[in-house]
Amino acid sequence: MAAAERMVVIGGDATGMSAAAQARRLKGPGELEIVAFERGRFSSYSACGIPYWVGGQVTERDSLVARSPEEHRSRGIDLRMRTEAVELDVPGQRVRVTEQEGTERWVGYDQLVLATGAVPVRPPLPGIDAEGVHGVQTLDDGQRLLDALERGHLPHGVRGRVESGGASPRRAVVVGAGYIGVEMAEAFVRRGYQVTVLEKAEQPMSTLDPDMGELVHEAMCSMDIETVLGASVTEVRTDERGRACAVATQDAEYPADVVVLGLGVRPATELAREAGLPLGESGGLLTDLAMRVRGQDNIWAGGDCVEVLNLVSGRPQHVPLGTHANKHGQVIGANIGGGYATFPGVVGTAVSKVCDLEIARTGLLEAQAAAVGLRFTSVVIESTTRAGYYPGTRPIHVKMLAERRSGRLLGVQIVGRENAGKRVDIAAVALHAGMTVEQMTSLDLGYAPPFSPVWDPVLIAARKAAAAVREG
């Protein structure tokens, strides 16, 4: 009997462990040995849940862990925690790993899965690495932030004020007003902090067009989240003990008891780059539809370390989202396990919230559409989430982009209150199907007064967009 093949997985979160679990379902230990390396202390956790853990909606760290190392091991996956892959030898089909205690060794593979994720963008500014400046990318990051908040490490001056009985709230400065930034802003509002968000662009949520971003800006202001736009951070100031105490921009200084970086992430692909594997413009690995690294027979990659095809723009793109990472893992595991699966691409869907404001988008923004040569018409409508007379009905704005002439849907953006955000799924499916906005006007969507106005807001937008297309 032939020796079992060995599948080596680098990265113990969504993609890596989904791939391992799916492959294990299809092939037993006699056929396939599975070894996985994770440099952190946690496996298969929800990084997307960290803002809600910091905000207190989630009280148990372990509830963010979908499957612990022990559970993986009990399913026949040899998961080695706190073990880092430091070199990849593609011709030799082996990976060099460093264990926690410093031991180094080479591990050979027949099939390799690169699931190394992403790292937060940390601009090289003075003070950026000081104590009190936090990323929130990994569960370890979240734990460090919560430990710091609970220890109550405050800069000297503030501590003095608190000790003298002053009621000044603590101050959080969040750098960046993207998804992570606004979610962390909400978390600190919930903790009673005075929150300032510093954003370099002229709008929060640059995943939206400026007009829709302005709606988010207005809402954040009404939530007492100080949102400073056009703010270029120049330095994190530190106190005499070396702890962050303020964030300076080109023209102001914002005192801070805690600083959180929400500047987005970039693919963690140093290992792959050094091994000569193909990377895209964002630095993400390039794969085929089966999630195999281009040009490689037995190296697979998925999750936050790859680029995916945007089916609307036709361009590869870095889209670090847990939902894609899980799908990639399933696809890789199915293929290594002898099955067949593909990941055709994304349409650019994302949904988030800040306090009770829901923010969603799918497809292309105006600038993205223009950048790939598309001409389009766009409309914005305002409606309600339920029938106008039904209690709890809330406002919703829907922006819709359609290609000129063809009328093909190109994108939808939604800003509204409760029950607004997930309506983006209607447009996401329509994008996958290549529908025109005219076709969308006759979609048979669920209607009853507690769920929707008799014309769902997406239908209202489609009607207006279809009329705009007809008018040329």
What positions carry a catalytic annotation? 48
Among 14, 34, 182, 260, binds a copy of itself (CB under 8 A): 14
Enclosing H/E stretch for 382: strand 376-384
Task: Specify whether the backbone of 124 is left (phi greater than 0), alpha (psi in -120 to 50) or beta.
Answer: beta
C-alpha distances out from residue 296 to 93, 208, 315, 349, Å = 11, 36, 21, 29
3-class secondary structure, 22 = helix
Using CA atoms, how far apart are residues 220 and 161, in angstroms rounded to an integer?
Answer: 28
Among 333, 452, 461, 469, binds a copy of itself (CB under 8 A): 452
Among 343, 366, 376, 400, binds a copy of itself (CB under 8 A): 343
In the bound state with a copy of itself, the residue whose beta carbon lies nearer, of 60 and 101, is 60
Among the residue ranges 106-114, 146-154, 269-277, 316-324, the one whose residues contact a copy of itself (CB under 8 A):
316-324
Among 117, 132, 421, 457, binds a copy of itself (CB under 8 A): 421
Least spacing, CB of residue 428 vs a copy of itself, in Å: 5
Among 348, 407, 416, 457, binds a copy of itself (CB under 8 A): 348
Among 28, 63, 129, 147, binds a copy of itself (CB under 8 A): 63
Among 152, 323, 338, 375, binds a copy of itself (CB under 8 A): 323
What part of residues 206-265 is at the interface with a copy of itself (CB under 8 A)? none
Among 6, 226, 390, 395, binds a copy of itself (CB under 8 A): 390
Using CA atoms, how far apart are residues 27 and 23, in angstroms rounded to an integer?
Answer: 6
Least spacing, CB of residue 142 vs a copy of itself, in Å: 13
Total binding residues for a copy of itself by CB under 8 A? 67
Q: Which residues of 234-259 are buried (b: 16+ CB within 10 A; e: fewer)?
A: bebbbbeeebbbbbbbeeeebbbbbb
> Closest Cα to residue 395, out of 405, 403, 406, 384?
384
Query: What character string, x for contact with a copy of itself (CB under 8 A) and - otherwise, covers 82-121?
Result: ----------------------------------------
Contact between 26 and a copy of itself (CB under 8 A)? no
Contact between 388 and a copy of itself (CB under 8 A)? yes
CA angle 275, 128, 117 (to 5 degrees): 35
Least spacing, CB of residue 47 vs a copy of itself, in Å: 10
In the bound state with a copy of itself, the residue whose beta carbon lies nearer, of 279 and 424, is 424
Contact between 48 and a copy of itself (CB under 8 A)? yes
380 DSSP assignment: E
CB contact at 8 A, 138 and 40: yes
Least spacing, CB of residue 93 vs a copy of itself, in Å: 30
CB contact at 8 A, 382 and 399: no
Contact between 164 and a copy of itself (CB under 8 A)? no
C-alpha distances out from residue 421 to 46, 362, 385, 396, Å = 20, 11, 10, 9
Contact between 443 and a copy of itself (CB under 8 A)? yes
> Closest Cα to residue 203, out of 420, 428, 415?
415
Among the residue ranges 167-175, 210-218, 248-256, 452-460, the one whose residues contact a copy of itself (CB under 8 A):
452-460
C-alpha distances out from residue 131 to 153, 185, 243, 245, 252, Å = 10, 20, 5, 10, 21
What part of residues 423-442 is at the interface with a copy of itself (CB under 8 A)? 423-426, 428-433, 435, 439, 441-442
Using CA atoms, how far apart are residues 11 and 270, in angstroms rounded to an integer?
Answer: 14
| DSSP string for residues in 322-351 | HHHHHHHHHHHHHHHTT-------B---EE
**Could you tell me the two tokens for 166?**
């002053």
E strand map for 93-217: 94-98, 104-108, 111-114, 118-120, 133-134, 171-175, 194-198
Using CA atoms, how far apart are residues 81 and 240, in angstroms rounded to an integer?
Answer: 37
Least spacing, CB of residue 457 vs a copy of itself, in Å: 12
Least spacing, CB of residue 336 vs a copy of itself, in Å: 17
In the bound state with a copy of itself, the residue whose beta carbon lies nearer, of 228 and 355, is 355
Among the residue ranges 47-55, 209-217, 233-241, 397-405, the one whose residues contact a copy of itself (CB under 8 A):
47-55
Q: Which residues bind a copy of itself (CB under 8 A)?
A: 14, 46, 48-49, 52, 57-58, 60, 63-64, 179, 321-324, 326-327, 330, 342-344, 346-353, 360, 362, 387-391, 419, 421-426, 428-433, 435, 439, 441-452, 454-456, 463
